[in-house]
Amino acid sequence: MEIIIQPDAEAATEVATTIVARLLREKPDAVLGLATGSTPLLLYRALVRMKLDWRKVKTFNLDEYVGLPPAHEQSYHHFMWENLFRHVNISRKNIHLPDGMSRNIPKFCAEYEALICAAGGIDLQVLGIGTDGHIGFNEPTSSLASRTRIKTLTRQTHEDNGRFFGSADKVPHHVITMGLGSIMEARLCLLLAFGLKKARAIAATVEGPVASINPASILQMHPDVRICLDRAAASKLKRADYYHRVYDNKPDWQQYQN
C-alpha cells in the first residue's frame, strides 16, 4: 500500500492520472474498473485532456442505483457518458455498467462477474471512499469476500448522496455494486480521497485493523494499492511523515512522470 500525499486535490489527481495514463500506453487493451461521484471527476477530465487512445480499452463500472433508468441525470450511466465516455474514442461495446433496471438482479450480477472474468480481469480499479469507509457501495459490515450484488444503502450514505439529488428523500435505497472480493481481484487499486470529511475513513483504512465495519480496510491485504490524497484527507494519519519520506525518496524507476 503506497500512500501518496499531495498539497491539494489537483496535485493528487495529477499523480493518479499519470498512473492510469502509463497503463493505457503500455497496455492499449487494458481493462479499467471505474468509479463515480465527485472524487474521480478531476481524474476523468485530466484523462480526456491527454487524448489517449481508448479504442481497445474495456471498462467496468463499480455500481449503479437500482430503479434509475440510464437516461436519469443522477444515474451512473449518465455520469460516465457525460464526464468520460463521450469525450474519448472508446468503443461502446467495450463499456460495461451495472443495470439498475434489471428485472432479475441476481442473474445480472452473476453475468457481470462472468463478463469481468471473460475480459481477463481488471487491470486497474479506480476507487473513491465514503465517509464511513465504503468502497463501491460496499457498506460497513459487508462481507470481505463479497461479489457483485444488490445492497441497501446506510442512512449515512443515503444522506451523503442527497446533495446530488437535491434531497436525501430522492436517493434510491438500493444499489448494485461490485463486491469487496471482486475489487480485490483487480491487479492494481487506485484510491483517491480529498477533503477533511474523508480523513477519518482514510486513517482507519490505512492504519486501522482490517475489519468489515470499515470495508476499505481490506485494501491492506491487496498486493498493489496506491492511495492519492490531499493534505486534508491525510490529516489524521499518524505516520504521514513516513509516507512523505517514502514518496520523496523513490528511486528514479519508481517516479510518477508523464
Is pTM beyond 0.85? Reply is yes
Which whole-number Å values give the CA distances from 1 to 37, 207, 208, in the listed order?
23, 11, 13
Of 63, 99, 160, 230, the catalytic one is 63
- β-bridge mates for residue 135, sequence order: 138
pLDDT value of residue 258: 64
Of 123, 132, 160, 230, the catalytic one is 132
- The question of whether 63 is a catalytic residue gets the answer yes
pLDDT value of residue 92: 97
Summarize pLDDT for 91-108 with one digit per residue, the tens: 999 999 999 999 999 999
Of 64, 99, 113, 139, the catalytic one is 139
Q: Which three cell numbers stand for residue 60?
A: 467496468
pLDDT band for position 52 (50/70/90)?
very high
| CA-based R_g, the chain, Å | 17
Of 64, 99, 123, 134, the catalytic one is 134
Summarize pLDDT for 63-75 with one digit per residue, the tens: 999 999 999 999 9
pLDDT value of residue 138: 97
- Mean pLDDT score, 172-195: 97
Which of 41-45, 86-90, 161-165 is predicted with the least confidence, judged by mean pLDDT? 161-165
Helix residue spans in 71-104 (DSSP H)? 76-83
Average pLDDT for the chain: 96
Is the predicted pLDDT of residue 156 greater than 90, yes or no? no
Show the domains of the chain with their CATH numbers: 2-250 (3.40.50.1360)
**94, 3 Cβ separation under 8 angstroms:** no
- The question of whether 132 is a catalytic residue gets the answer yes
- The question of whether 139 is a catalytic residue gets the answer yes
